């Protein structure tokens, strides 16, 4: 039984099926939707359509490469419906979800059950991949099984139509010329324009939070732009609005600040505001974001939203194979375990499914080597810490390579090569076992 049809759930179900087991995949959509979900398809992408960097010598690229080696259905689907995004792997999110749904629906070993699960059964093999927005009833069942969980906020960025962007005030380019000129649309601001925008942003009215959301911490990885801006006038100018690596062809100079718009769909008719997750009221989003010259006439097809996420104190309750310490037949997967990001969530589902299959076959868990990104994330979930926080793929969680290579590009390339070789050896040993 797999609870949840998001990225983690479909990966878990596919791994179990590949091992020869029949799977019931429970997904409550379309019977019931969370506050952030709109589509009935599986593996719906909510916050962004970017799956981060593609090149192997990057943390995100290495993770996707490792997942592909283990037969990831999400990575395969992503490449089938990608849209231009410079050095990133971005997808048409509707086509992506449709591709994953077709793949799971066509699997003879997987039965999709469209109903809400309110209780976690502990008397049968189960993977809980319900996501950070699990229903209230299921959340209570998780809390009863695992004890207190931690909460944080997540936020999604607005989307505008391509035709409403004022290209006389914008230019196409990827940062540092990585990718084509059509991958990103850059919306520059001079100093006066930025200061007026900043003042409006920090004084804009925010949407009212639900009672259950008040008093909770905001997770750094999805910090609303208005909250980030309150940390100082230059915080967002050195963050999502940084002009580094860009030159405005109209002036020949680097702008004071730049908002990047990333293509949202394959047709190139929609663009999302990169790094502009927000909890401003919809009217305020229109007013404030339209102060950016290129967006003065922007048509917003989706405004930013903010919602609650929850994650477990995983080191207290989970092992590195994503099984529960107290209930070995119960596994957790996805962002609720404390991995952060689309592909990280999918990766945890892949490993949970693979490990439950091995447990059912009487085999030892498969925990990838610590030199791999998959292995590092697995260990993050299980290692004790005073203040457990979500973690995405990054080279900082991998062991340093010896002897140390001073050049960063060469060092990252060597670390990635070491990881691929380590995973190949681990997979060979797994097959022999």
15 and 83 share a domain?
yes
175 and 118 share a domain?
no
Q: Mean pLDDT over all residues of the chain?
A: 91
Least confident of 7-11, 181-185, 201-205, 403-407: 181-185
Question: What was the pLDDT predicted at 179?
Answer: 63
Predicted confidence (pLDDT) at residue 285 exceeds the cutoff of 60: yes
8 and 126 share a domain?
yes
Question: What was the pLDDT predicted at 136?
Answer: 84
Residue 190 structure tokens: 């001079």
Predicted confidence (pLDDT) at residue 384 exceeds the cutoff of 80: yes
Predicted confidence (pLDDT) at residue 210 exceeds the cutoff of 70: no
What is the pLDDT averaged over residues 61-67?
Answer: 98
Indicate the residue among 244, 276, 307 that finishes a domain: 307
298 and 317 share a domain?
no
238 and 279 share a domain?
yes
296 and 329 share a domain?
no
Residues 6+ apart with CB under 8 A from 104: 5, 10, 13, 14, 25, 42, 73, 110, 112
How many domains does one find in the chain? 2
Predicted confidence (pLDDT) at residue 181 exceeds the cutoff of 70: no
Predicted confidence (pLDDT) at residue 24 exceeds the cutoff of 80: yes
Would you give the DSSP letter of residue 42? S
185 and 96 share a domain?
no
Predicted model pTM: 0.81
The alpha carbon of residue 107 and the mean position of all alpha carbons in its chain are separated, in whole angstroms, by 25
Predicted confidence (pLDDT) at residue 188 exceeds the cutoff of 70: yes
322 and 265 share a domain?
no
| pLDDT one-digit tens code per residue, 252-264 | 999 999 999 998 8
**Contact criterion met (CB below 8 Å) for 278 and 306:** yes
Task: Identify the CATH number of the domain in which residue 191 sits.
Answer: 2.40.30
The tokens 């809390």 sit on which residue? 143
Would you give the DSSP letter of residue 251? T
| pLDDT one-digit tens code per residue, 73-96 | 999 999 999 999 988 999 999 999
257 and 143 share a domain?
no
- Over its C-alpha atoms, the chain yields an Rg (Å, rounded) of 22
- CA torsion sign for 221, 227, 230, 233 is positive
Least confident of 164-168, 179-183, 201-205, 427-431: 179-183
d(C-alpha 320, C-alpha 384), whole Å: 11
143 and 197 share a domain?
no
d(C-alpha 100, C-alpha 157), whole Å: 23
| pLDDT one-digit tens code per residue, 341-375 | 999 999 999 999 999 999 999 999 999 999 999 99
pLDDT band at 212 (very low <50, low <70, confident <90, very high): very low
Question: What was the pLDDT predicted at 287?
Answer: 98
**Which own/partner pairs from 199-206 qualify as long-range (CB within 8 Å, at least 24 positions apart)?**
200/287, 200/288, 200/291, 201/225, 201/226, 201/229, 201/288, 202/226, 202/229, 202/230, 204/280, 204/281, 204/284, 204/287, 204/288, 205/280, 205/281, 205/284, 206/279, 206/280, 206/281, 206/284
Task: Identify the CATH number of the domain in which residue 334 sits.
Answer: 3.50.50.60
- CA torsion sign for 383, 387, 391, 396 is negative
Expressed as residue numbers, the domain containing 239 is 156-307
- Does residue 309 sit in helix, strand or coil? strand
């Amino acid at each position: 039984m797999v609870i949840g049809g998001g990225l983690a759930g479909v990966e878990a179900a596919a791994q179990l099926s590949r091992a020869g087991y029949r799977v019931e995949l429970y997904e409550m959509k379309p019977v019931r939707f969370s506050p952030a979900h709109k589509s009935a398809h599986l593996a719906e992408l909510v916050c962004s359509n970017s799956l981060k960097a593609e090149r192997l010598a990057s943390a995100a690229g290495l993770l996707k490469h490792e997942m592909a080696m283990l037969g990831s259905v999400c990575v395969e689907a992503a490449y089938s419906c990608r849209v231009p995004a410079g050095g990133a792997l971005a997808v048409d999110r509707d086509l992506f979800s449709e591709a994953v749904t077709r793949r799971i629906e066509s699997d003879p070993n997987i039965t999709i059950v469209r109903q809400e699960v309110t209780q976690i059964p502990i008397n049968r093999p189960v993977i809980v991949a319900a996501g950070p927005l699990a229903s209230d009833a299921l959340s209570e069942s998780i809390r009863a099984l695992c004890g207190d969980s931690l909460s944080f906020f997540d936020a999604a960025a607005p989307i505008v139509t391509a035709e409403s962007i004022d290209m006389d005030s914008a230019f196409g380019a990827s940062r540092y010329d990585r990718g084509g000129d059509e991958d990103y649309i850059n919306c520059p601001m001079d100093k006066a324009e930025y200061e007026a925008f900043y003042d409006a942003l920090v004084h804009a009215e925010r949407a009212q939070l639900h009672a259950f959301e008040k008093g909770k911490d905001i997770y750094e990885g999805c910090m609303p732009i208005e909250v980030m801006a309150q940390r100082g006038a230059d915080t967002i100018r050195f963050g999502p609005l940084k002009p580094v690596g860009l030159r405005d062809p109209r002036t020949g100079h680097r702008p004071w600040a730049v908002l990047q718009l990333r293509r949202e769909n394959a047709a190139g008719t929609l663009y999302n505001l990169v790094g502009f997750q927000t909890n401003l009221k919809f009217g305020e989003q229109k007013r404030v974001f339209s102060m950016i010259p290129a967006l003065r006439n922007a048509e917003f097809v989706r405004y930013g939203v903010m919602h609650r996420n929850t994650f477990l104190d995983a080191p207290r309750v989970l092992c590195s194979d994503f099984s529960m310490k107290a209930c070995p037949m119960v596994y957790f997967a996805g962002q609720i375990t404390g991995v952060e990001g689309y592909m990280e969530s999918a990766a945890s589902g892949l490993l949970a499914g693979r490990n439950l299959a091995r447990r059912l076959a009487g085999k030892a868990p498969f925990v990838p080597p610590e030199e791999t990104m998959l292995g590092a994330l697995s260990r993050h979930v299980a290692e004790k810490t005073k203040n457990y926080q979500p973690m995405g793929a990054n080279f900082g969680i991998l062991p340093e390579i010896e002897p140390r290579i001073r050049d960063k590009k060469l060092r990252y390339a060597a670390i990635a090569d070491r990881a691929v070789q380590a995973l190949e050896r681990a997979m060979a040993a797994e097959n022999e076992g």
